[in-house]
């Protein structure tokens, strides 16, 4: 069997077009343009690249972005003061604090300072609590997990009653994606570094989500024939044939898995592009909510 490749890049382009149309409708109706503040602390090159990509994506769909860059030596108090100012600014509907934060900054305190109404990443503990509770709705669904579910649905996966296995239990990917699968009525197993017989557990999965951060750890013979496989991992491995000296691979051994799975996301070009689309969608949602 050769799996269907789930093209996250193409799906994210469709989503961005939908968002751009909605932004235009909002502005034409005389409402304020949605605005996203990006807060970058320090000079982590990967973080700088991510923030640039997010600002560019905002511009493409008509969302205004406001950039705040602070040195790694900035004090905790100054960061929290900035967040409070952004919380009060009516032009700003979403606040994105780029992670990871430099040593010396208490990330938990910074994230807690972001108003839940503007937490477009969806990481606020109360927001995650709402996601976990029956009969309650989160204000924002975290972007990468939302992207995983969107890809599964658009690829035709039946989640209701499916056996879903998530490998990873981080606050930003593994745990929220597992909570979303439960909301979709999938019977969901969460695996982590203490799980016994990971290959055996994976083999029972109709839907397998890998969010580990270990290059190509999930082998082809861990996958149930016909399963839907979503590979969230982004790992650099050395590759002297590439100009930049490395290439990106996922947590799944793609070349093996593609012969067994029913559908699979590639890395790059799978979940990655969906994350930014989710951020844009959450910012638009926040702008609409603020005008009700
Ligand atoms: P974390 O390091 O926070 O979490 C990794 C999880 O994997 C942990 O729960 C850990 O278990 C588990 N794990 C580690 N080793 C093993 C193992 N040998 N067996 C089973 N489980 C294991 O990572 P993130 O969730 O932040 O990110 C995961 C991956 O997703 C990374 O490659 C990251 O780059 C990528 N990513 C991609 C995004 C995108 O847009 N595509 C966005 C965010 C992340 P334990 O809890 O026991 O330690």
Same domain, 151 and 239: yes
Are 270 and 230 in contact, with CB atoms under 8 Å apart?
yes
Residue 243 lies in a domain: yes
In what helix (H) or strand (E) does residue 210 lie, and over which residues does it extend?
A: strand 207-210
Backbone angles phi, psi at 118, to 5 degrees: -115, 5
For residue 209, the cross-strand partners are: 166, 230
Q: Is 54 a catalytic residue?
A: yes
Q: Is 235 in the pocket of ligand 1 (CB under 6 A)?
A: yes
The CATH number of the domain where 55 resides is what? 3.40.50.10860
pLDDT for res 269:
97
Are 198 and 191 in contact, with CB atoms under 8 Å apart?
yes
Q: Is 40 in the pocket of ligand 1 (CB under 6 A)?
A: no
Q: Is 234 in the pocket of ligand 1 (CB under 6 A)?
A: yes
Q: Is 268 in the pocket of ligand 1 (CB under 6 A)?
A: no
Residues 267-280 have pLDDT tens digits of 999 999 999 999 99
What one-character DSSP code corresponds to residue 116? G
SS3 289: helix
Q: Is 172 in the pocket of ligand 1 (CB under 6 A)?
A: yes
Residue 282 lies in a domain: no
Q: Is 195 in the pocket of ligand 1 (CB under 6 A)?
A: yes
The reported pTM is 0.95
Distance in angstroms (rounded) separating the CA atoms of residues 172 and 260: 28
Q: Whose CA is nearest to atom 47 of ligand 1?
A: 193
Distance in angstroms (rounded) separating the CA atoms of residues 180 and 247: 31
Distance in angstroms (rounded) separating the CA atoms of residues 218 and 206: 15
Q: Whose CA is nearest to atom 35 of ligand 1?
A: 233
Distance in angstroms (rounded) separating the CA atoms of residues 289 and 94: 11
Same domain, 96 and 166: no
Q: Is 144 in the pocket of ligand 1 (CB under 6 A)?
A: yes
Are 4 and 227 in contact, with CB atoms under 8 Å apart?
no
Residues 185-236 have pLDDT tens digits of 999 999 999 999 999 999 999 999 999 999 999 999 999 999 999 999 999 9
Cα–ligand 1 centroid distance for 132 (angstroms): 20
Are 144 and 232 in contact, with CB atoms under 8 Å apart?
yes
Mean pLDDT calculated for residue range 112-124: 95
Q: Whose CA is nearest to atom 4 of ligand 1?
A: 170
User: Of ligand 1's atoms, which has the minimum distance to the CA of residue 270?
Assistant: 41
Same domain, 218 and 262: yes
Residues 119, 121, 231, 251: which is the catalytic one? Answer: 121
Residue 137 lies in a domain: no
Work out the pLDDT band at 1, boundaries 50, 70, 90: low
Domain, as residue range, for 152? 142-272
Residue 24 lies in a domain: no
Same domain, 114 and 153: no
Cα–ligand 1 centroid distance for 172 (angstroms): 9
Same domain, 147 and 84: no
pLDDT for residue 40 is more than 80? yes
Q: Is 248 in the pocket of ligand 1 (CB under 6 A)?
A: no
Cα–ligand 1 centroid distance for 36 (angstroms): 27
- Bond before 268 cis per omega within 30 degrees: yes
Same domain, 99 and 174: no
Same domain, 147 and 200: yes
Distance in angstroms (rounded) separating the CA atoms of residues 233 and 230: 9
Q: Is 121 a catalytic residue?
A: yes
**Average pLDDT for the chain:** 97
Are 279 and 53 in contact, with CB atoms under 8 Å apart?
no
User: Of ligand 1's atoms, which has the minimum distance to the CA of residue 192?
Assistant: 21
Residues 80-91 have pLDDT tens digits of 999 999 999 999
Q: 288 exposed, middle or buried (CB, 10 Å; 0-12, 13-18, 19+)?
A: middle
Which residues touch 46 (CB under 8 Å, ≥6 apart)?
none
Cα–ligand 1 centroid distance for 3 (angstroms): 24
pLDDT for residue 288 is more than 90? yes
Measured between alpha carbons, how far is residue 277 from residues 61, 162, 251 in Å? 10, 26, 22
Same domain, 255 and 152: yes
The CATH number of the domain where 204 resides is what? 3.40.50.720
Residue 239 lies in a domain: yes
Work out the pLDDT band at 184, boundaries 50, 70, 90: very high
- Number of domains present in the structure of the chain: 2
Residue 96 lies in a domain: yes
């Amino acid at each position: 069997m050769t799996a269907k490749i789930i093209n996250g890049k193409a799906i994210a382009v469709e989503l961005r077009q939908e968002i751009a149309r909605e932004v235009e409708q909002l502005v034409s109706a005389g409402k304020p343009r949605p605005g996203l503040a990006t807060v970058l602390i320090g000079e982590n090159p990967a973080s700088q690249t991510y923030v640039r990509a997010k600002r560019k994506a905002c511009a493409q769909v008509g969302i205004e972005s406001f950039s705040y860059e602070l040195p790694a030596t900035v004090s905790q108090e100054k960061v929290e003061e900035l967040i409070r100012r952004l919380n009060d600014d009516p032009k700003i509907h979403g606040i994105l604090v780029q992670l990871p934060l430099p040593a010396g900054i208490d990330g938990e305190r910074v994230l807690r300072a972001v108003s839940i109404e503007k937490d477009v990443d969806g990481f606020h503990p109360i927001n995650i609590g709402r996601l976990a509770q029956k009969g309650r709705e989160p204000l924002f669904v975290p972007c990468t997990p939302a992207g995983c579910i969107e890809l599964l649905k658009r690829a035709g996966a039946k989640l209701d009653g499916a056996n879903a296995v998530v490998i990873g239990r981080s606050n930003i990917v593994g745990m929220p994606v597992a909570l979303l699968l439960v909301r979709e009525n999938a019977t969901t197993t969460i695996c982590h570094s203490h799980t016994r017989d990971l290959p055996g557990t994976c083999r029972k999965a109709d839907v397998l989500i890998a969010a580990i951060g270990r290059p190509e750890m999930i082998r082809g013979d861990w996958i149930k024939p016909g399963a839907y496989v979503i590979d969230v991992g982004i790992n650099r491995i050395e590759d002297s044939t590439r100009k930049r000296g490395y290439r990106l691979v996922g947590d799944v051994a793609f070349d093996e898995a593609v012969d067994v799975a029913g559908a699979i996301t590639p890395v790059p070009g799978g979940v990655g592009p969906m994350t930014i689309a989710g951020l844009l969608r959450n910012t638009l949602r926040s702008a609409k909510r603020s005008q009700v």
